[in-house]
Structure 1
């Protein structure tokens, strides 16, 4: 009988210990979807609310955003039962196009959910879309020989857009577009870029284009490549 009482008391004590614990809650769920946005809306901002639904203090040990978003320091990193705190999120989508998804990891001393994956989502619609990707890719480059890369620029808005002031960097980069180019809705134009590499190493290029769209005054297209040695030219 005495042994049974001891076992029963131990079970009650263990139940109390299990029940006495912090419990993290992300108010509103673990996903923030801004829906359709434009680059002009960037940066996107949101205040994520974290609440302690348990009966012991909740300690938030770390908030880790992935590339492309940042978080401000926590107002509080230790919450009493039923207390809340705010995590201010800034999500940069100025260089994105199409569906974008990033994560923020929230770590705490909640024994059941020690880490929570919070998802940020948006559909970035640009008046001008660069296809098939948003950058130039220069392949098989060697010193002294011209390399080429081609993209298409498409007007995905519902109004005419005029592009002008085509600026390339470095000076060895040339393109087939100049002056002014007007695109009707749904119309696209081919952009051909050529580069004459002068030295071995990583290559980075940039094309800046002004537009008359009020929400998208400038289009920037970056380019990348790796320049190898030439068996013909002096590579120094």
Structure 2
């Protein structure tokens, strides 16, 4: 009886030791980023890097900002041991002059420390501050370079969804982040092949267009990035949108209904 009790205690001890050792461990490159002084209207962006230095995968199910002025995006796939993930924080400074200090809470499946809190801070200055950038800040800025600024889809049917692909390069000295797109029609969404484009790297920017209006269309799409010198890049999507064949057939059938038999 004593030997069985001793064996059971030993097995529990070994299991406890294993579970204590078999864990992920998140280590951030930094927990606070200071933007300094930025111009009002700037979409201030910082990418926090996190490395799993444990021996089990770590999943980040949720990342929450302390206010609606900060938008976080993060690595959704499991971060394997030795691999690196990212948490990107975008602070919208429009209409928010003065100092700011915001927190971003990162939730993980790490039982030892399931929450990590990151911080961004800085001060929002005048709107024309961007024209007062020092040569040093301009030299260190990410730079968005693109070959062509227009794309023609040709003929599309109304309601059809089409994709325009642009190759973009970061010719600057800091990582480039595409922060969003704006269009008057609200008919364009975007995706990039890389969440962060390192200096010298090339990435693909996809613009997904929904052909909702008939006729010749010239949609101006503004691409927002953390390029300090050219934060708003304008692209043009062109298309001739026609009524779809299926819609014409439905209208024709509706004009001359067939009686039930």
* TM score, norm. by length of structure 2: 0.43
Kindly indicate which of the two structures has a greater share of residues assigned to strand.
Answer: 1
- From the two aligned structures, give the one with the greater helix fraction: 2
Who wins on radius of gyration, i.e. which is larger? 1
